[in-house]
Amino acid sequence: TAPELIRNFSIIAHIDHGKSTLADRMLQLTGVVDQRQMRAQYLDRMDIERERGITIKSQAVRMPWEEEGVAYALNMIDTPGHVDFTYEVSRSLAACEGAVLLVDAAQGIEAQTLANLYLAMENDLTIIPVLNKIDLPAAQPEKYAEELAKLIGCEPEDCLKVSGKTGMGVEALLGEIVRKVPAPVGNPDAPARAMIFDSVYDTYRGVVTYVRVVDGMLHPRERIALMSTKTTHELLEIGVSSPEPVPTKGLGVGEVGYLITGVKDVRQSKVGDTVTNNAKPASEALEGYREPLPMVFSGLYPIDGSDYGPLREALDKLKLSDAALVYEPESSVALGFGFRCGFLGLLHLEIVRERLEREFGLDLISTAPNVVYEVTMEDRTQITVTNPSEFPGGKIDEVREPVVRATMLAPSEFIGSIMELCQERRGALRGMDYLSEDRVEMRYTLPLAEIVFDFFDQLKSRTRGYASLDYEPDGDQVAKLVKVDILLQGEPVDAFSTIVHADKAYSYGVMMTGKLRKLIPRQQFEVPIQAAIGARVIARETISAIRKDVLAKCYGGDISRKRKLLERQKEGKKRMKMVGRVEVPQEAFIAALSSD
Ligand code: GTP
């Protein structure tokens, strides 16, 4: 297809404003998916995506569309809406010339509407403002058209009004995309350059790499070179997703499609890399992307120790399709052998964990998530701490923790509640703007550690669900942080060590020792449970001694019943972990770790 007839666009929106539903309607209207094959959220292929109703991986689809007698090819790139996956949004946007900015007409502008709009503007995209869900009785399209127009600097009449559910206005939107989004420009005679914007692992086809061609042309069977990894591969197949894969004779300027080279690991076909022709290579690579960095770490342990090998294999497999996941082996007194894993955020953690349990049948326990700390000792040595139990003792000069710039949008009646919450979480107010009379945008600097711990739930509950949140990394800050250890009979239990602000150390200590006292069964001797900062004990509970005798419950008599009880006790013993002389059922550790 000639570049003049191509339109590359993305749909960007706050979570749940209806991107996937609108994409479904477009697939139907353009005829690439027929009625019979249609199912809700066609593009969300992972089970988890469908169940949770969220988009995790980006997708690109080519759709034919005729406008005023001219046949166009529209490439729609669907993007995820959740903060953890912002990096996927930005790389998809770099492959487009335009973006449909979708706003729920019953909700108005939300935090990720802004965040995504800014990303689109950074990429110089043409923005098409659209109000969605106008079929809802609660929709106020006129009111929010004003808000949206003010935000992007257009007239309220320029905002299209659609319903992804009924299909109303979607045809007009496709026409608007053809008219407003610029055609891609590039040099067809230059050496080929294509940008990798996604790389997914497919069990049958190996790695499928999604590209946007900028200059020249790529053909099947030719040898390509990846400019940053300097590897070469034969192009086994090249094609477009429509949305099922359709092989083609080549991809030219402005086209979006997929490549298959037989590579088995997504890391060999890196997002952000430039694909060129090996025989006639381009001299300069295209501008790449920022690599996503893990922000949150947690230990993942198999509940059954013999699942350690399978867990490693499962992580290796997931890594093939999720370049952002990092992990390395670690061991813990309480939990045995497992892995310390790095994630983009809490949702990423939950999804990885759920996939491990569901797709690989593993039972897992994860330790409380923590962020990465930079510790400078008085002798100037630097230590990076990704696991609280590695936090150094000795003379510490300073500890730095990552902070984020958070944006919250809410009805103005909740300003007080939001300020209170941010205060509790060591936030610093950066600014506040009224988007309209009754909606306000608040900007805070907050420690990432305070956000990863139920911040979003608290924000939602204190604003009756009306506030929205978006955040991005914003460097780090010095903070008064300490490590709190939990000791059983004087022995530290590594899985419970945590790094907290000095002001919160006491309440963590009291909470954890109290919880463990209830969970750990009595032993034949007294067991002190202590919380300590270094050698200083800040909280203490005691489990008093008892002679544990399951047979005490049976009065003489029934021998078979006695045997059963003894057997059950033996089985229980296998799952006991020894901490010094103290026997602790693994369930106690699991319960203590998971209840918050
Ligand atoms: P993510 O993929 O998680 O970013 O969400 P999304 O923006 O794709 O939202 P999705 O399409 O999953 O829609 C969210 C919810 O809104 C679903 O329950 C849809 O059924 C509903 N919805 C979407 N569009 C419309 C619409 O036009 N009208 C009405 N009434 N409901 C809609």
Is 219 labelled as part of a ligand binding site? no
Is 21 labelled as part of a ligand binding site? yes
Is 134 labelled as part of a ligand binding site? yes
Whether omega for the bond prior to residue 184 falls within 30 degrees of 0, making it cis, is no
pLDDT value at 35 more than 70: no
Ligand 1 center–CA 347 separation, angstroms:
19
Check residue 263 and give its pLDDT.
82
Instruction: Please give the number of the atom of ligand 1 that sits closest to the Cα of 44.
Output: 2
Could you tell me which residue, 557 or 257, shows the higher pLDDT? 257
Is 499 labelled as part of a ligand binding site? no
CA distance 197 to 103: 25
Ligand 1 center–CA 199 separation, angstroms:
26
pLDDT value at 347 more than 80: no
- The pLDDT of 2-16, averaged and rounded, is 91
Could you tell me which residue, 580 or 118, shows the higher pLDDT? 118
Could you tell me which residue, 361 or 204, shows the higher pLDDT? 361
Residue 329, Cα to own-chain centre: how many angstroms? Answer: 22
Check residue 270 and give its pLDDT.
79
Instruction: Please give the number of the atom of ligand 1 that sits closest to the Cα of 162.
Output: 27
**Which pLDDT tens digit goes with each residue over 494-537?**
888 889 999 989 998 998 899 888 888 888 888 899 999 988 99
Check residue 8 and give its pLDDT.
96
CA distance 349 to 326: 11
Candidate of 10, 20, 26, 347 to mutate for ligand 1, largest count of ligand atoms within 8 Å of Cβ: 20
**Which pLDDT tens digit goes with each residue over 235-262?**
999 999 887 788 999 999 999 999 999 8
Identify which of 246-250, 432-436, 581-585, 586-590 has the greatest average pLDDT. 246-250
Check residue 56 and give its pLDDT.
41
Percent of the residues in the chain that have a pLDDT greater than 70, as a whole number: 87
Candidate of 21, 110, 140 to mutate for ligand 1, largest count of ligand atoms within 8 Å of Cβ: 21
Measuring CA to CA, which residue among 468, 314, 335 is closest to residue 327? 314
Alpha helices in 128-198 (DSSP H): 141-152, 170-180
Ligand 1 center–CA 58 separation, angstroms:
17
Instruction: Please give the number of the atom of ligand 1 that sits closest to the Cα of 132.
Output: 27
Ligand 1 center–CA 350 separation, angstroms:
22
Ligand 1 center–CA 433 separation, angstroms:
28
Instruction: Return contacts of 559-568, CB within 8 angstroms, 24+ apart.
Output: none
Instruction: Please give the number of the atom of ligand 1 that sits closest to the Cα of 81.
Output: 4
Give the residue whose CA is nearest to atom 16 of ligand 1.
18
- The pLDDT of 560-580, averaged and rounded, is 61
Candidate of 12, 16, 136, 162 to mutate for ligand 1, largest count of ligand atoms within 8 Å of Cβ: 16
Decide if 503 contacts 450 (C-beta within 8 A): no
Is 16 labelled as part of a ligand binding site? yes
Three-state DSSP class for 330?
Answer: strand
Is 11 labelled as part of a ligand binding site? no
Is 580 labelled as part of a ligand binding site? no
Instruction: Please give the number of the atom of ligand 1 that sits closest to the Cα of 13.
Output: 7
Check residue 277 and give its pLDDT.
93
Ligand 1 center–CA 19 separation, angstroms:
6
Task: Identify the band that residue 186 occupies on the pLDDT scale cut at 50, 70 and 90.
Answer: very high
Check residue 568 and give its pLDDT.
58
Is 132 labelled as part of a ligand binding site? yes
Could you tell me which residue, 84 or 223, shows the higher pLDDT? 223
Check residue 16 and give its pLDDT.
86
Instruction: Count Cβ atoms below 10 Å from residue 394 Cβ, excluding itself.
Output: 9
Give the residue whose CA is nearest to atom 13 of ligand 1.
18
Task: Identify the band that residue 551 occupies on the pLDDT scale cut at 50, 70 and 90.
Answer: low
Q: Which value, in Å, is the radius of gyration of the alpha carbons in the chain?
A: 28
Give the residue whose CA is nearest to atom 18 of ligand 1.
16
Could you tell me which residue, 444 or 551, shows the higher pLDDT? 444
Three-state DSSP class for 302?
Answer: strand
Is 133 labelled as part of a ligand binding site? yes
Task: Identify the band that residue 45 occupies on the pLDDT scale cut at 50, 70 and 90.
Answer: low
* Lining residues, ligand 1, CB within 6 Å: 13, 15-21, 53-55, 81, 132-133, 135-136, 163-165
CA distance 190 to 229: 22
Give the residue whose CA is nearest to atom 26 of ligand 1.
133
Is the interface score ipTM higher than 0.85? Answer: yes
Check residue 595 and give its pLDDT.
46
**Which pLDDT tens digit goes with each residue over 424-480?**
999 999 999 988 888 899 999 999 999 887 788 888 888 887 888 888 888 999 999
Check residue 41 and give its pLDDT.
58
| β-pair partners for 447 | 403
- The pLDDT of 361-385, averaged and rounded, is 90
Q: Rounded to two decimals, what is the model's pTM?
A: 0.71
Ligand 1 center–CA 257 separation, angstroms:
26
Is 515 labelled as part of a ligand binding site? no
Check residue 80 and give its pLDDT.
59
Task: Identify the band that residue 44 occupies on the pLDDT scale cut at 50, 70 and 90.
Answer: low
Ligand 1 center–CA 133 separation, angstroms:
8
Could you tell me which residue, 584 or 222, shows the higher pLDDT? 222
Ligand 1 center–CA 247 separation, angstroms:
32
Residue found by looking up tokens 């419970």 in the block? 496
pLDDT value at 146 more than 80: yes
Check residue 439 and give its pLDDT.
86
Burial of residue 220 (CB within 10 Å: 0-12, 13-18, 19+) is middle
Quick one: tokens of 427?
């936030």
Ligand 1 center–CA 91 separation, angstroms:
23
Q: How high does pLDDT run on average in the chain?
A: 85
